[in-house]
Amino acid sequence: MVGREHRTEEGWQVYADGMERSSPEKEKLLKFVKEGTIVDAGCGYGTVINLLSEAFPESRIIGVDSSKKMLEMAKSRGFGYNVDFLEADITKPYLRAESADTMIMCSVLHEVYSYQGLSAVQSALDVSYGILKKGGRLIIRDGVMPDCVRTRMRIGTLENVKKFVKFAEDFTPYKITYKTIDDYTVELSRPDAMEFLSKEIYDTNWDVEVQEQFGIYPLTEWQKILRHHGFNVIHTESYLIPFLRQRYESDGIKLFTVTNQGNNTSLQEAVYPDSTMILVAEKI
């Protein structure tokens, strides 16, 4: 992806370290894998490759990425005989048709969308469908858009208030609109609040992360899209990663759903939006 390439050396290492810290979360994908030829499309630093190589030593594992830097970092980890890497654009055919048993896309489709647009996401799904064998599985782990309801966000610290204002100015996928309620509270849509929360944890790679829209579609819309591309959806879930919940709570961030009835406005405390979805589909 174009945006990922504009990182400092420190940024690359922070990016890789973040991938590794999320390894326990990504381990949840393993139970859905069909053994045989397993493709990690957008493999990055190789965190998922590492999990796959340990869990499925008899399978052939192929890590695919368009970033030379990421592939160099992944290869430097010294994976075993059953792991190969390929530099390729996952929106264009890169492996033989009907050659893979499992295709994994972990935190990659939101990057495809952010830097190449919706048509590129559709192309990536079409390519995956073509590469998978009949009955093969596509496993997607990525961000998810919450319901579009009005939300008030209480931001616990002055530092994070400044970060929110910077986020609204720097976010490039679309314009963030909000209303200031008081020095620590803003009103905005729930998807916009989620986008801020997905960026709030970043400092070193801020300039890259604000170019990316993390929640592209709600979970139900993702299911429709996969069916449209010929897949049978067999598993869906979304959740908030515990680390993020702890971070938001420690930062004093609270959300409230806004309901307007005539001239009256009522607030109801709301849970944080889900950060992550897992979708599993099979090629019909």
pLDDT at position 175 over 70: yes
Is residue 3 a contact partner of residue 111, using CB atoms and an 8 Å limit?
Answer: yes
Q: How confident is the model at residue 282 (pLDDT cuts 50, 70, 90)?
A: very high
Q: In whole angstroms, give the CA distance from residue 160 to residue 127.
A: 41
Min mean pLDDT across 2-6, 69-73, 132-136, 235-239 is at: 2-6
Judge whether residue 2 has pLDDT over 50. Answer: no
Average pLDDT, stretch 69-78? 91
**Which whole number is the average pLDDT over 3-24?**
60
Q: For domain 3-142, give the CATH number.
A: 3.40.50.150
Per the prediction, the chain carries an average pLDDT of 92
Lowest mean pLDDT across 1-10, 57-66, 159-168, 245-254:
1-10
Q: What percent of the chain has pLDDT over 70?
A: 93
Give the pLDDT of residue 1. 44
Query: If you average pLDDT over residues 166-173, what whole number do you get?
Result: 97
Backbone torsions φ then ψ of 177, nearest 5 degrees: -110, 140
Task: Over range 260-268, report the average pLDDT.
Answer: 86
- Looking at the predicted structure, is the pLDDT value of residue 122 above 70? yes
Judged by phi (left if over 0) then psi (alpha if -120 to 50, else beta), residue 44 lies in left
State the Cα–Cα distance between residues 184 and 153, nearest whole angstrom: 8
Query: H/E element holding 158?
Result: helix 158-170
Q: Give mean pLDDT, residues 171-197.
A: 97
Neighbours of 139 (CB within 10 A): 24
The full set of domain ranges for the chain reads 3-142, 150-212+242-270
Name the pLDDT band for 17 (thresholds 50, 70, 90). low
Q: Across residues 208-227, what is the average pLDDT?
A: 96
What's this model's pTM, rounded to 2 decimal places? 0.92
Q: Does residue 5 surpass a pLDDT of 70?
A: no
pLDDT value at residue 9: 63
Q: Report long-range pairs for 55-58 (Cβ below 8 Å, ≥24 apart).
A: 55/30, 57/82, 58/82
> Facing residues of 185 across strands?
154, 182
Confidence of residue 94 (pLDDT cuts 50, 70, 90): very high
CA distance 64 to 84: 9
Mean pLDDT within 192-216: 93
